[in-house]
A = this chain, B = another copy of it.
Amino acid sequence: MKISGRPTTEGSRGIKQKKEKLKNFLKEKGFKSTRQRDLIASEFLEMGEHVTAEELYREISKKYTDIGYTTVYRTLKLLNQSGLAAERVFADNLTRYEPLSAEDHHDHLICMKCGSITEFQDLRIERLQERVADEFGFVAVSHKMELYGYCRKCKDNA
C-alpha cells in the first residue's frame, strides 16, 4: 500500500502539460479551444480534488461573472473524456471530478463525519480483484472501491 502523495495543488508545470493535452484532444476531435474552456480547465487543475461542478462553478464565478454553470458542467465532461479528469460518485450521490494523470489509479477512504477523502493504492487488492474476476470468467475493465468510516481526527471525538 502506498499513499498517493499527491500535492494539493499541482505544480504549474503539470498544469501546463495538461492544458496542452486538452488542446490536443480538442483539435483531434474537431472541437474548439475557447476562453471558457481554458479558464475552467485552469481553475479545475489548480483547485484540485473531488470537486462538484457546482463547487467549481462557484469558485470560477468569483473571478469571471460571465461563465455559465452549463459550460462548467460541459467542460468537466470534456476533461473526463480526454482522460484529464476522473468522475467519481461517492455515497452522497453527487458527481465529483478530480484531476487524473494517465497512469495514476487510486481508491478512497471517506470519512462519514467530516467528509474528508483520503486516497490509497494497494496492488495486492488490485491483483486479488483480477483473480476474482478471472474465476467468474469475467473481464474486469474498471472497479470502484470505497471504504466508509471515521478518519483519524473524527474517530476520537465522535
Contact = CB atoms under 8 A, between A and B. Distances in A.
A137 B149 CA distance: 11
A109 B89 CA distance: 18
A136 B152 CA distance: 7
A12 interface: no
B147 A146 contact: no
Contacts of A102: none
> Which of A146, A147, A150, A151 has the most chain B CB atoms inside 10 A of its CB?
A147
Given A93-B89, A93-B93, A144 B144 contact: yes
Contacts of A150: 138-139, 141
A142 B146 CA distance: 9
A155 interface: yes
Interface residues of A, number: 36
Contacts of A142: 147-149
A112 interface: yes
Nearest to A125: B128
A129 interface: yes
22 contacts: A1-B131, A89-B93, A109-B132, A109-B133, A109-B140, A111-B138, A118-B136, A122-B128, A122-B132, A128-B128, A129-B147, A133-B147, A133-B149, A137-B151, A138-B149, A138-B150, A139-B155, A140-B148, A141-B149, A143-B147, A144-B148, A145-B145
